[in-house]
Amino acid sequence: MSRNIKEKEGGLVRTYLQFGSSTRDLIPDSLVSTKLVQAYIRTFQMIFPILPTSSFREDYKAFWSDPTWSKETFDITLLLVLSIGSVFCPNEPGVTPAVTAGWTSYIVSWLSNPRIKTSLDLDILRILCLFLLLRQVRWLSCDVPWLSSDSLVRMAMQMGLHIDPGSQPIPASEAEMRRRMWALILELEVQSCMDNGNIPCVTEEDYDCLPPSNVDDTDTLDDPIVKPICHLTQVSCQILLTMSLPIRLKIARFVNNYRANHSFERALGLSSELMPVLERCLALLGDYRISSRPPTWLQTRVFDLLVRRFLLSLHHPFTTGTISDPQYHYSHRVCLDVSIALLSETSQSVNDDFHRLLLSGSDLYHNTYTQAALYLTGALSSACQLQDDWLFTAAVRSEMRETVSKYLEIALARLTASEESVETYVLVSCALAQVEAKQIRVSEDAYIFEALQKALGVCYSLLKAEDQTFDNVDWDIMDLGTTLARVDEPLEFLQWDEAVA
């Protein structure tokens, strides 16, 4: 999105803040709001079930049935739910980028109030978690400087969420919500560390809070019926993620600690800890898929991304310049399998929820796929120098090229939808051209330059169509030529259409 569009949106945001007397003025009509809430419920509530569904549904009904009804934390929670849900309803009438920017600006303004940090409770903590989730699923033009995943961990520990609530005299429903919140906060922290190169501020020894129980929200949480892990519930995906959290915290600490001894033996040890857990989780997901109520495509793909990216980061450093060294064959095999697994199934169609998330998401839903594509092109380039195909067979190389091409389609779609930078699309296009030049034994420089011209031309055409301007680029120096599937259905865990009946 260009500067002039941002400035226009900024003007609309200021209008909202000046003339909107309450959050109710920002909320779209009940029909649109319900659709966005349903979108949130079928997506992230099924991955991180932190909304107290019963009380949220009652508050939602009260919000629409009584125009004078107001509850501050619910209003902000609703705005956040609508903001995340709007990612999966990109063509909803009236829900424009300027409108969602207005929601974000209002939320940031509310969170910037100093009293928020001094009045922590579960409702406030939930709002902070939702805001960090929003930052993952959508590029934001404004932020809350004091709010980060590590600060959220410390707040949660101040509230005692790291201590398992089982022995505390609190209702079972509150105990379950505390476990769910703690699991989400740890997930936000470990993913943020991988995105930003930070060391996790917590280790496995710092908490004893148990994973959430496998309980459907349709069951009463005050007397929960805990189902076996082989039975899919709204919490199952989060439980699967918590299984590997301790080892993923170790991996994040290993790869991001510049003082650590990054030995290959240590990397293999960490990998051998994560692999069995991942295999068990994938087996459970396979069982869920053949059940009467299978998980959504978004759930399975997000799980894959959140866990497999750790294997890629762990082994990728040992694959650079080592393609002919048998010692590192295992790292190449892991990176190959993970890269293809992530990139080959980026979407079922251009309309599925996961595809929409890839187009709008920030670093978490972008950088890992770029890393996978760059590994594949680097490995292909190095493999071209080998006399035999003992590591990558002809069939595997063909699959690798097709997978990178698939990544380029996503990168180009991101550029059309939300991306500001053309660097990744151009870089991977040129890297793939280098591979092709080596394979057909032509001049690499000429082939790469031709690919560069074509990639820049495609980007220029797209950005120009979006009213983008590049004042510092002399485009005249280049010959810029011309470029299983369903939307996830709302699950039947909650009937949100009844909430506004």
* HEC profile of 449-466: HHHHHHHHHHHHHHHHHC
What integer pLDDT is reported at residue 220 of this predicted model? 52
pLDDT at 2 exceeding the cut of 80: no
Q: Does residue 411 sit in helix, strand or coil? A: helix
Helical segments of 344-475, H only: 353-360, 367-383, 394-417, 423-440, 444-465
What integer pLDDT is reported at residue 13 of this predicted model? 38
What percentage of the chain has pLDDT greater than the value 90? 59
Q: Higher pLDDT residue, 326 or 5?
A: 326
What integer pLDDT is reported at residue 18 of this predicted model? 39
Contact 295/289 with Cβ under 8 angstroms?
Answer: yes
pLDDT at 19 exceeding the cut of 70: no
Tokens encoding 247:
């080892």
pLDDT band at 73 (very low <50, low <70, confident <90, very high): very high
pLDDT band at 195 (very low <50, low <70, confident <90, very high): very high
Q: Does residue 21 sit in helix, strand or coil? A: coil
pLDDT band at 9 (very low <50, low <70, confident <90, very high): very low
Question: What's the average model confidence in pLDDT over 295-324?
Answer: 92
pLDDT band at 337 (very low <50, low <70, confident <90, very high): very high
pLDDT band at 356 (very low <50, low <70, confident <90, very high): very high
pLDDT at 106 exceeding the cut of 60: yes
What integer pLDDT is reported at residue 388 of this predicted model? 58
pLDDT band at 407 (very low <50, low <70, confident <90, very high): very high
End-to-end CA distance of the chain: 38
Query: Considering only 84-98, 170-184, 302-316, 486-500, which range has the smallest mean pLDDT?
Result: 486-500
What percentage of the chain has pLDDT greater than the value 70? 85
The residues spanned by each domain of the chain are 347-501
pLDDT at 181 exceeding the cut of 80: yes
Write the CA distances from 42 to 79, 130, 253, 500, integer angstroms: 17, 15, 33, 18
Task: Render pLDDT for 159-169 as a digit per residue (tens, 0 to 9).
Answer: 999 999 988 88
What value, to the nearest 5°, has the Cα angle with vertex 324 and ends 320 and 326? 100
Q: Does residue 349 sit in helix, strand or coil? A: coil
Q: Higher pLDDT residue, 412 or 249?
A: 249
pLDDT at 474 exceeding the cut of 90: no
Q: Higher pLDDT residue, 466 or 31?
A: 31
Cα–Cα distance measured from residue 39 to residue 48, given in angstroms and rounded to the nearest whole number: 14
pLDDT at 393 exceeding the cut of 90: no
